[in-house]
Amino acid sequence: MIHFDCDYMAGAHPEVLDAIVKNNLVQTAGYGSDNFCARAKDLIREACGTPEAAVHFMVGGTQTNSTVLDGILGRIDGVIAAETGHINVHEAGAVELFGHKVIALPSHDGKLCPAEVRDYLHDFYADDTNEHMVAPGAVYISFPSELGTLYSLGELEQLNAVCHEYDIPLYIDGARLGHGLAASPDVTLPDIARLADVFYIGGTKMGALFGEAVVCTRKSLLPRFFPLMKAHGAVLAKGRLLGMQFEALFSNDLYLRIGRHAVGLAQRLRKTLEDKGFKSFINSPTNQQFFVLPNEVIDRIQALATFEYWGPRGEIESRVRFVTSWETTEQDIAQLEELL
Amino acid sequence: MIHFDCDYMAGAHPEVLDAIVKNNLVQTAGYGSDNFCARAKDLIREACGTPEAAVHFMVGGTQTNSTVLDGILGRIDGVIAAETGHINVHEAGAVELFGHKVIALPSHDGKLCPAEVRDYLHDFYADDTNEHMVAPGAVYISFPSELGTLYSLGELEQLNAVCHEYDIPLYIDGARLGHGLAASPDVTLPDIARLADVFYIGGTKMGALFGEAVVCTRKSLLPRFFPLMKAHGAVLAKGRLLGMQFEALFSNDLYLRIGRHAVGLAQRLRKTLEDKGFKSFINSPTNQQFFVLPNEVIDRIQALATFEYWGPRGEIESRVRFVTSWETTEQDIAQLEELL
Amino acid sequence: MIHFDCDYMAGAHPEVLDAIVKNNLVQTAGYGSDNFCARAKDLIREACGTPEAAVHFMVGGTQTNSTVLDGILGRIDGVIAAETGHINVHEAGAVELFGHKVIALPSHDGKLCPAEVRDYLHDFYADDTNEHMVAPGAVYISFPSELGTLYSLGELEQLNAVCHEYDIPLYIDGARLGHGLAASPDVTLPDIARLADVFYIGGTKMGALFGEAVVCTRKSLLPRFFPLMKAHGAVLAKGRLLGMQFEALFSNDLYLRIGRHAVGLAQRLRKTLEDKGFKSFINSPTNQQFFVLPNEVIDRIQALATFEYWGPRGEIESRVRFVTSWETTEQDIAQLEELL
Amino acid sequence: MIHFDCDYMAGAHPEVLDAIVKNNLVQTAGYGSDNFCARAKDLIREACGTPEAAVHFMVGGTQTNSTVLDGILGRIDGVIAAETGHINVHEAGAVELFGHKVIALPSHDGKLCPAEVRDYLHDFYADDTNEHMVAPGAVYISFPSELGTLYSLGELEQLNAVCHEYDIPLYIDGARLGHGLAASPDVTLPDIARLADVFYIGGTKMGALFGEAVVCTRKSLLPRFFPLMKAHGAVLAKGRLLGMQFEALFSNDLYLRIGRHAVGLAQRLRKTLEDKGFKSFINSPTNQQFFVLPNEVIDRIQALATFEYWGPRGEIESRVRFVTSWETTEQDIAQLEELL
């Protein structure tokens, strides 16, 4: 059986796991104050081109989103997100648990429209009853989006401009950042670091056992962040594990190699599917592929492969999602293609 | 340099790490719905003698405490704890962040006195203005305590009786549970499971890379716990890692072997210190040893070893803490002893 | 100058104020444990036809909504509301401050569609990833809605049926309940009490200085509610003031007299406006009237009257809102009509 | 029957009530944006000698404390208070509900000791693990204290100096501020305004129906405070009622007249009790008197008067509290004295 359910089904990429194994008996201080973390932060700052940025490591994505947003938002501010945004849909209300409303704007294949964000902010400040409303205190986007789509460099620049016009930070959820960067024709990691005020570099879905690296280029946004992380339960005692993994991910170009590998296989699969006449229902350049398949095809490939079923489309077709990752092999794809 | 700072300075016990390494490429579903977790839960239930208990895995201790307490407490209830309790002192206000007061009662070498807990509860319910006060909704203790001390079986039974008399759960923080069980003359894991309504079996300080296993013997206390964990940022995507580690810890008696190893070395060190005429300032039967040493001795051993400095005692002595763990060797202790 | 801005511009209806004045020097115990509150609760229970209901008094609407919802919702549950619902738009995120998401469904002139609520609930429970989502723990509606519209008795029965089907409470925000009841062709206060699990009878917008009366017909929904109110800052020390006012409002049919008065004048104004050929943009049978007026008419009447401007409609017309209340007189309406 | 239970048993002082009655039919905008509020704020600023201070009106004390503290504290900061502080004991966990720990220091007859506060702050910042602890973000005191005692001007200056040394605000709960000012030999309202960063002038216990006036002399401490009040449910729709009452309280010296009246009667009662040989158990110069009385005396006066019973002291005596207020008359005191 081969698996295309998601990009976090196996353990860690061998180069990441090796870092943990080979340093297992080294003893260090806890809570991230070790040299592995220090080196990993330096590598990340270097890759981002932001020598002054603060870097913080956390364990998982929901934890990272709710902790960072709780840090950058005013006490009762809300955060603008696409209706399909992970924080609005699949984090069990973590943002609200800490007192913040998710202000949901329309999703355009998973993306916010910069002009709509500007209109929302304009209307909010033009409304003289806005002291009775939730103030928008940040903008949240995902790169790539939850639907595998990508903002262009121009769109990111527009979002950055809107945020700066209204003096609120732009926060980018990079759970699959490496897949996005590998697929984007124009956006680089330094672009992300330049255009976001805070973002995170996802590890869990990019070959780590776990771990996300928050990069904050405007340090004043997250003052005294360690105690906030601690209170959120987001500090790992053996923080070194995060340092070791990100050191590996940002050595020898591994982070982008993983992205290119997964995206390359996904695009190969996409081409095969299209060549066979199947239609995608979301046009995704990244490692997630969304296709409408005849139910009979689905039945046939389910004997060999697992993937996400997204519901029927009419009587004889259904929507499905295939995800590739560092674990996926050329052979996995070939096997799947044979059955299509 | 040898280290006695704490019990989470290295990675994982080799048997634990092996479980992660050998299963690295196995693909499973996420969020703890895998067979590793299922097997680990069975092993834990078996070790506890509670075949019906619910078991939940989380990543770290602060996260576990604040999530469990948020689950078992009424919306605005408080939790009774010793003044020295970890939740009252060293979790950056995590319990309060979720709306709950820590009701601090006096610490007796790190422990609550059952009679004082009963008095507090009695007085609360006898006070007819108590609707203006924080209702005590649970009792929190640590086994062993933060000062390395242990409740006797009788004390635990008394606390259990008080809690049941007032119909509130007893919650035991078992960050170092294995060290406590190894050191206790009378308390066993099934006793803990019988006397606590909810407790956790610490992994981080007992040889895991990370991970804590919550055992809830009264399932109605934590209904719908997964979404609460998710909202707290306490769900690990690759939950299997927790399953693998606890499967290892609860195979071949590893959990208690680790406890006995660390406690044995700590008691050997304790005897040496006492034989040399040094006095402990807390009488700890577990893997933490608290001694008053002459400053000249401290200076001498600092060349070889790291440990925690707890402040001066008069002009020529100071209080220090030595902690042993699975990482500590007989040779480490011997080296330290040579310098004393 | 005459005022149609809102229904809380003056103090209290004279019969309400008299109750406060004449009892000013009577001394009572605090926090609502006085006889005025006891009598008012009895009168309310009688008017509702629910002799067993619990009645709780609070000061204002936002406070009432966020406290009641925090009481009836599970720790991290959300509440379904129309996009236009007061809790979603004009309470500055009070519901979220206490950890609960407002799950916004489409507004149909201010109202939820029962079938859409059922679909939402059905889909939630059909989604096997729903443990990662915010569980809908209650349904919130306003009667009348924020746009002055009314649910029919049939619609309320459908909403009640949906809620019971999914075992979640139906909560009705009755900030202007009296205006709604006075205008409804079929819904009575006992109907509201029968079909809602919890609701509140608004005082502030119905002739009180302040005050809202929560009626909970399923007492188990709000156990230990006083401490929760206290922690929310929602307990009035001189609670008697709430008792006195609601005693007055529920004596001599005052509550409905106020409603009929305001609604009668609003409908007279509506007829005049329609007779003059102006169009309403929301069809409201209650004390709020929403019309599109030519800008030149607006300019003319602004010399005499204040009202809410809701924005332009094209180049030469605008949308405005007129609100009547117990303070509005026949003469006020006549004066306005003269200028139209 | 005469009442000495507390200072909020009747309605409002006649001069306060008159202001509400005579302006009842005046129509104003809501939420405190009316001229009554504007004038009251000016009168308060003038009385405080702080022409630039921000003044905010809220309804009750618990609400005020939790809203102000939520405003001035960092997201997870705690607030230092005496163990006996109202926020620590009698507000049902309101401060914790919003995420903040009350850091309880020893009470000295209801008061914090400035040197102990300094020591706490010093030790906190000297502890290099303090990122795992709750940071003290403000100091809370009550003037007068919950036990009727007063800080001297020197003590307030010391507290102010400690707070400024550690750059955290001093917040004064003035629920009974007028009683305290009337009783103090040296502290004036301008002193309070000069030495506190934020404080509130209590209305509820000083002759208002309800209402507390927050004075913030460092405006940057409470930016965007209206939406925070709104989210806390602390905005009164007919905010004018707060303006009218505080305008009355700060006209014709009413606020201090009420204080002097109540304190004068309390001190007369105290002298009588002492002359008869009874002992106070707290030495209170304000309107609360705490005495140990023989049980037979208590039984006798209970036929005539109500007061608070604070528990037995030995077999034949008990502790009781008498409170005077604007409602108390010379005749009430005389009647009580006859029975002693």
- Alpha helices by DSSP H, chain A: 14-22, 35-48, 61-72, 86-89, 94-97, 114-126, 153-165, 177-183, 189-195, 225-231, 240-249, 254-275, 295-301, 330-339
Domain boundary among the residues B214, B249, B284 is at B249
Asked if residues C41 and C216 have their Cβ atoms less than 8 Å apart, the reply is no
Cβ distance of B227 and C71 shorter than 8 Å: no
pLDDT tens-digit readout, A123-175: 999 999 999 999 999 999 999 999 999 999 999 999 999 999 999 999 999 99
Does residue D194 sit in the same domain as residue D307? no
Cβ distance of A75 and D228 shorter than 8 Å: yes
Establish if D191 touches chain B: CB-CB under 8 angstroms.
no
Can you read off the two tokens belonging to residue C269?
């104004």
pLDDT of residue C136: 98
Cβ distance of A227 and D70 shorter than 8 Å: no
Does residue D57 sit in the same domain as residue D200? yes
pLDDT of residue B110: 98
> How many domains are there within chain D?
2
Partner residue opposite A76 with nearest CB, options D134, D135, D227: D227
DSSP D161-213: HHHHHTT--EEEEETTHHHHHHH-SS--HHHHHHH-SEEEEE-GGGTSSS-EE
Among B residues 226-255, those touching chain C with beta carbons less than 8 Å apart = 226-228, 230-231
Which residues are registered as beta bridge partners of C54? C216
Cβ distance of B96 and D78 shorter than 8 Å: yes
Does residue A24 sit in the same domain as residue A72? yes
Domain boundary among the residues C233, C249, C265 is at C249
Does residue B36 sit in the same domain as residue B58? yes
C299 Cβ contact partners less than 8 Å away, ≥ 6 residues apart: none
Does residue D125 sit in the same domain as residue D38? yes
pLDDT of residue A235: 98
In CATH, what number is assigned to the domain containing residue C262?
3.90.1150.10
pLDDT of residue D192: 98
Does residue D172 sit in the same domain as residue D289? no
Can you read off the two tokens belonging to residue A338?
């044979």
Does residue A267 sit in the same domain as residue A151? no
Of the pLDDT bands very low, low, confident and very high (cuts 50, 70, 90), residue B78 is very high
pLDDT of residue B158: 98
Closest-CA distance, A222 to chain D, in angstroms, reads: 11
Q: What is the dihedral of CA D196, D199, D205, D211, to 10 degrees?
A: 160
Closest-CA distance, D86 to chain B, in angstroms, reads: 10
C16-27 core/surface letters (b: 16 or more CB in 10 A; e: else) = bbebbbebbeeb
Establish if C197 touches chain D: CB-CB under 8 angstroms.
no
In CATH, what number is assigned to the domain containing residue B181?
3.40.640.10
Does residue A111 sit in the same domain as residue A243? yes
Cis omega (within 30 of 0) for bond into A144: yes
DSSP C101-127: -EEEE--BTTB--HHHHHHHHHHHHH-
Structural domain including B281 reads 2-7+254-339
Q: What does pLDDT average to in each consecutive run of 10 residues of chain D (340 residues)?
A: 96 98 97 98 98 98 98 98 98 98 98 98 96 98 98 98 98 98 98 98 98 96 97 98 98 98 98 97 98 96 95 96 98 94
Cis omega (within 30 of 0) for bond into B227: no
Can you read off the two tokens belonging to residue C75?
């720790």
Cβ distance of C230 and D91 shorter than 8 Å: yes
Cβ distance of D233 and C94 shorter than 8 Å: yes
Does residue B184 sit in the same domain as residue B332? no
**Which of B101, B120, B122, B130 to mutate against chain D (most D CBs within 10 Å)?**
B101
Which residues are registered as beta bridge partners of B279? B292
Cα A231 from Cα B62, distance rounded (Å): 8
pLDDT of residue A295: 97
Cis omega (within 30 of 0) for bond into C144: yes
- Distance, C-alpha B97 to centroid of its chain: 21
Which residues are registered as beta bridge partners of B199? B172, B215
Cα C223 from Cα B76, distance rounded (Å): 12
Domain boundary among the residues A222, A249, A276 is at A249
C128 Cβ contact partners less than 8 Å away, ≥ 6 residues apart: none
Mean pLDDT of all residues belonging to chain B: 97
Contacts of B91 in chain A (CB under 8 A): 230-231
Cα B269 from Cα B333, distance rounded (Å): 7
Does residue C273 sit in the same domain as residue C236? no
Chains that touch B (3 or more CB pairs under 8 A): A, C, D
Cβ distance of D92 and B132 shorter than 8 Å: yes
pLDDT tens-digit readout, B313-337: 999 999 999 999 999 999 999 999 9
The DSSP letter of residue B108 is: B
Chains that touch C (3 or more CB pairs under 8 A): A, B, D
pLDDT tens-digit readout, A243-274: 999 999 999 999 999 999 999 999 999 999 99
Of the pLDDT bands very low, low, confident and very high (cuts 50, 70, 90), residue B203 is very high
DSSP C39-70: HHHHHHHHHHT-TT-EEEEES-HHHHHHHHHH
Which is nearest to B201 in space by CA: B246, B141, B153? B246
Mean pLDDT of all residues belonging to chain A: 97
At D82 the three-state DSSP class reads strand
Establish if A73 touches chain C: CB-CB under 8 angstroms.
no
At A67 the three-state DSSP class reads helix
Does residue D74 sit in the same domain as residue D179? yes
pLDDT tens-digit readout, C127-139: 999 999 999 999 9
Does residue A114 sit in the same domain as residue A26? yes
Q: Is the pTM of this model over 0.90?
A: yes
Residues of chain C with pLDDT under 70: none
pLDDT of residue A171: 98
Establish if D93 touches chain B: CB-CB under 8 angstroms.
yes
Establish if B90 touches chain D: CB-CB under 8 angstroms.
yes
Cβ distance of D234 and C233 shorter than 8 Å: yes
Cβ distance of C92 and A129 shorter than 8 Å: no
Cβ distance of D104 and B99 shorter than 8 Å: no
Which is nearest to D261 in space by CA: D297, D286, D294? D286
